[in-house]
Amino acid sequence: MLLFAIAANVYAQNKFTLSLSGYYDVHNRTLSDDFYGIDVVCSYRLFPHWKVGIGTGLGNVDWDKRVTEAQKVKGMRNSLLFLPVEAQIRFDLLKDGITPYVGIKGSYCFTLTRHNNDLGGGCKPFIGVEIPVGRSFSVHLQYAYNFQQLTRNIYQPGGVGTMTGSGWSGYPSTSYLPVTIIERITGEFNEFALGAAFSF
């Protein structure tokens, strides 16, 4: 009976929120390609103004359009599909009505398609506003500055010099073999999101 009363109290206060958002990340520095995708986050109201949540989603980026035909035969693709695993904390400036909020989200992205490049950890400080459209439903607009770890495999057709024999002058000649340079960087993106949420 006590457990039922506690459960009823939690439900009455709409402690849990399930939100679905679509986002578009516009590159700011380092890269010339943009991210887009959807996020699903389940959050819990820990205190009157604080929410914590975990989530996942599905994203894509048309990252490197210089994939060669030989690389396509090996399964490489121009677009990179990824699945993020996320955790976030959010502070609501108001308790009821139209609610502005701030927060921060940490994530790690798992690559789902074979690609020259790869993703890793990320961090997103964000601000937004939530607009109720009913007792349990709301829509939200959000802006985030996305720091995303990236690994780029840069193919260079001539990289390492090797002595291959004698040249026309009788001296050893040097040829340059192709190499792949692995570069780890942090991309920065302006992220804009629109979504809806259901509280229960």
Look at residue 64 in the predicted model and tell me its pLDDT. Answer: 54
Look at residue 55 in the predicted model and tell me its pLDDT. Answer: 98
pLDDT at 118 over 80: no
Query: Is pLDDT larger for residue 32 or for residue 66?
Result: 32
pLDDT at 5 over 50: no
| Domain range for 167 | 15-199
Instruction: Answer whether residue 53 is part of any domain.
Output: yes
Instruction: Answer whether residue 1 is part of any domain.
Output: no
CB of 190 within 8 A of CB of 1?
no
CATH number at 19 reads: 2.40.160.20
Instruction: Answer whether residue 89 is part of any domain.
Output: yes
Work out the end-to-end distance of the chain between its first and last CA atoms, rounded to an integer number of angstroms. 21
What is the Cα–Cα distance from 193 to 91, expressed in whole angstroms?
18
Instruction: Answer whether residue 8 is part of any domain.
Output: no
Q: For the chain, what is the domain count?
A: 1
Instruction: Answer whether residue 3 is part of any domain.
Output: no
What is the Cα–Cα distance from 88 to 22, expressed in whole angstroms?
17
pLDDT at 141 over 80: yes
Look at residue 188 in the predicted model and tell me its pLDDT. Answer: 87
Instruction: Answer whether residue 153 is part of any domain.
Output: yes
Q: What is the pLDDT of residues 158-187, one digit of tens each?
A: 554 544 454 445 555 555 555 566 667 788
> In Å, how far from its chain's centre is CA 103?
16
| Average pLDDT value over all residues in the chain | 79
What is the Cα–Cα distance from 167 to 170, expressed in whole angstroms?
5
Instruction: Answer whether residue 4 is part of any domain.
Output: no
Instruction: Answer whether residue 126 is part of any domain.
Output: yes
Query: Is pLDDT larger for residue 61 or for residue 70?
Result: 61
